[in-house]
Amino acid sequence: MSDILHIFSTFEVGGPQRRFIDLIRMQMKGEPNSFKHHILALDGCYDAYALLPEESKGAQVIKVEPPDLSRGLVKNILTIKAFLSEHKASQILTYNWGSIEWSLAARFCSKKSYIHVQDGFGPEEQSSQIFRRKVFRRLGYGGRCKIIVPSHYLKEMALKTWGRSLSSLCYIPNGIDLERYSIAPEVGLRKELSLHADHCVIGTVCAMRPEKNIGRLIEAFSLVEKDYPNARLLLVGDGMALPAMKMLAERIGLKEKILFAGHQTQPERYSCLFDIFALSSDTEQMPLAVLESMAAGKVIAATDVGDVSTMVAAENRPYIYGKSAKILAQNLGQLVATKAVLSSIGEKNKEKAFADFSDAQMYKKWAQIYSESKDR
């Protein structure tokens, strides 16, 4: 069994954490003892650990406590380097900007395989990278470091901005359990949410963080609802922005038509109720929620961020452009007005998801990456 150390800024429930959980689930189905994963959450939050397969906890997946890092950048890096050198893992994976100190230290642990995983950027870097961070990224992700990215946008970023070579990059698109999201809606759940047969349900699933810009989606929905009063907005997810979004819905007089489902451990029960999946983010790369809705056979209306326009079927691409609430409202309005085309576009999305974005395809590529630690 090969030991691998994963360093996350947090192990709360989010895209990278959900992907990791899916990879563990696939490992448990195939060769459960092939890799042992050590999880280090720098903020001490391990909420996503609860979602792991029970049989993997403490066996294939182990929590690790970080060392004390309160002495300044240089001393922190020396402390981290010593920690990494002593840890039995033969492979180190760092995730996103929050682990940059560990990236700087891991680069110089010559006896260990070092990989950085970049899933995207926070709202503060949605338009351009902060110069200081760009410098540190070039340092931390240089040398023998291999970089894994889930989007073509990030691949270009690593080549042009971080000065990495094509041979150092590995593009692995996200994949999901497609069958899990390809399910029929529950009549009882529709009734519970007061959704009627004539309602056109626009929905999204996300962590309610600033970069998801749910305020933009609510504004767009308010414009659509004026012309199509049978429209409903169903928001699934929790986070720091949730209270403000509830207040906004009430302030604009749409409290009865904007439904907040909160965090759900089975989001597929809700996403299959959507007629249209809406994405209003300021920044994304390859959002899992888009893949999940494609697997459910849904049409996507979204801001033009990351790889979203290339993820969906060609028939869906006209509804992926711009970033304003007005443009998003126009796209949503066109789809609500022509509800008959939703299923045909949704089926094309489903076909593309099953052809290109299965969890089995993703796991095969990640398992090859993990296996590099065995070869050292």
The 10s digit of each residue's pLDDT in 138-168 is 999 988 899 999 999 899 889 988 889 999 9
| 220-266 pLDDT tens trace | 999 999 999 999 999 999 999 999 999 999 999 999 999 999 999 89
Give the residue from 29, 65, 60 showing the smallest Cα distance to 46. Answer: 65
Same domain membership, residue 170 and residue 22: yes
CA atoms within 13 A on the CB side of 90: 13
Give the residue from 212, 282, 225, 280 showing the smallest Cα distance to 252. Answer: 225
Same domain membership, residue 294 and residue 205: yes
Same domain membership, residue 214 and residue 293: yes
Rg (CA), the chain: 21
pLDDT confidence bin for 83, thresholds 50/70/90: very high
> Which residues constitute the domain of residue 210?
178-356
Same domain membership, residue 170 and residue 51: yes
Contact 35, 1 (CB under 8 A): yes
Predicted structure pTM score: 0.83
| CATH number of domain containing 189 | 3.40.50.2000
pLDDT confidence bin for 9, thresholds 50/70/90: very high
For residue 120, the model assigns a pLDDT of 85
| 125-145 pLDDT tens trace | 766 788 899 999 999 998 889
Q: What mean pLDDT comes out for the span 297-320? A: 96
- The pLDDT mean for the chain works out to 93
Same domain membership, residue 182 and residue 326: yes
Amino acid at 304: D
The burial class, CB within 10 Å (0-12 / 13-18 / 19+), for 260 is middle
Total count of domains within the chain = 2
For residue 128, the model assigns a pLDDT of 78
For residue 203, the model assigns a pLDDT of 98
| 39-52 pLDDT tens trace | 999 999 999 999 99
Residue 100's DSSP bridge partners are none
- Residue 225 C-alpha from the chain's centroid: 29
Give the residue from 316, 284, 297 showing the smallest Cα distance to 16. Answer: 284
pLDDT confidence bin for 373, thresholds 50/70/90: low
Residue 269's φ and ψ, nearest 5 degrees, are -65, -25
Same domain membership, residue 220 and residue 270: yes
Same domain membership, residue 362 and residue 350: no
Same domain membership, residue 134 and residue 8: yes
Same domain membership, residue 313 and residue 211: yes
Same domain membership, residue 135 and residue 27: yes
C-alpha to C-alpha distance for 107 and 94, rounded to whole angstroms:
11
Q: What mean pLDDT comes out for the span 172-199? A: 94
